[in-house]
Chains A and B, each alone.
Chain A
């Protein structure tokens, strides 16, 4: 029972990080109809940059700088991926993000090398709850994820910029018609998604070291999380991340660690199959 609970605790924590990735995917997909394949790269860049800065500056500052830098990179990627108004289709944009993800991997390999990078978690002292160890870093990941989800929801519900982003998601045509700059709002959503991905990256790196090619695994997990809400729901992505994290950790703990990514892919395929079947029926 203790093993089971321990696996669940760790699963909730890594699942939260997947949820952050998934929420970023949802945000970009809803406002621009683009599935952003570079979403995993945001986490990797942030992790690598933080690892490089740690030792020179306090970890918290390093993490904040990395998140800010990645948000700028995200905005630039969005600018490139969105292309020209009325010329670049969402499918073309998707391919562009795939290209940008590959480019990001190459640049990371060149700048940071191929050695896995990591840094110390916030504290090594784990709390014990009836034999279940709870590490502060895991608690931090969960807390930051829920805080980010709450803040993002408040932004979308309460501010005019948030309303404009939701408007783009609701009806691109009507958004253009009232004079909203749909392209600029798309760039904003890419920057926000990049910041969310970067948060996941800086939080996960002390637990799971990153290399230039970690982005595929991270992106697949993020997609699987987002697929729970049909790619359109923040709450769905949050729930999806948690379910996925727990499921993966149970498989890793009880069956075989090598199946971790396979679980994400299986869940994603099952969800896509189930959804498309329901849509056909409906």
Chain B
């Protein structure tokens, strides 16, 4: 059986600049995998190419063995991969509940949405059970909630599509440490109890290693290291560059 997500020799270019340079990675069902690296290493570009927002210059992306390279974000969502984007990107003027419902609508499209009504309601209740704060805020415009609450909206919106893989870009960015702790615990239970696989893109390597079993290290568009989090944590180069070892990134 093929892996849930397979990325093969993926290259992303902006004009002549190469953002992702032939990266390959794989993620099995129910796995928790991190993608770490400094700012500008190409993590977000890689994620956006996987999610169909960017057309890669080369390589292929397959979900469940089905190729989705360049098929657009809708196809990726329908195959069960949803993204929680960097900086949340909620729909600020819409109420929290509408934000969530659009997550379901994005997967069904206009024609199958009415038929899937019961399932959508049920999923909404499940999201409210998982993230009770969202039910309290259901009528409030998402733009008038706190950063941590917006991150919950973005996660809830992605869950409304019923994903098998949740791709999260910079979970911790701009959030208070205690909020990040709560969200991390939530993602762990989501993975363990509901079997949703996680692909976590993070600058914060501590967080990434704590939550994920495996990690890839991206540097200047290339995957320079890969392995179990515990092993990577012990490596000098990783410790120096990402875990506050004191040496500059260039030494890696």
Contacts and interface: CB of A to CB of B under 8 A. Distances in A.
Contact of B106 (A86, A166, A169, A179): A179
B89 A160 contact: no
B161 A179 contact: yes
Given A161-B110, A177-B51, A178-B157, A167 B102 contact: yes
Given A170-B93, A171-B89, A177 B73 contact: yes
A173 interface: yes
Interface stretch (B59-67, B77-85, B128-136, B184-192): B77-85
B110 A174 contact: no
A164 interface: yes
Contacts of B102: 160, 163-164, 167, 175, 178, 180
Q: Is the interface of A mostly helix, strand, loop or mixed?
A: helix
A170 B94 contact: yes
Interface string A172-192: 011111111100000000000
Q: Which of A85, A160, A173, A176 has the most CB of B within 10 A?
A: A160
Interface in B63-101: 72-74, 76-78, 82-83, 85, 89-94, 98, 101
Contacts, number: 75
Interface residues of A, number: 20
A178 B103 contact: yes
Contacts of A170: 91-94
A174 B78 contact: no
A187 to B, nearest CB: 12
A34 to B, nearest CB: 19
Contact of B90 (A86, A174, A179): A174
Given A160-B102, A164-B102, A164-B105, A177 B91 contact: no
A149 B117 CA distance: 28
B109 A181 contact: yes
Contacts of B73: 176-179
Given A166-B94, A170-B92, A173-B53, A178 B77 contact: yes
Q: Which of A169, A173, A176 has the most CB of B within 10 A?
A: A176
A179 B157 contact: no
A90 to B, nearest CB: 18
A160 B103 CA distance: 11
B91 A179 contact: no
A169 B101 CA distance: 17
A179 B74 contact: yes
A159 to B, nearest CB: 10
B90 A177 contact: no
A30 B152 CA distance: 26
B43 interface: no
A60 B103 CA distance: 41
B164 interface: no
Given A177-B51, A181-B109, 13 more contacts: A86-B55, A160-B102, A160-B113, A163-B102, A164-B102, A164-B110, A176-B72, A177-B73, A177-B83, A177-B85, A178-B77, A178-B102, A179-B76
Interface of A: 85-86, 160-161, 163-164, 166-167, 169-171, 173-181
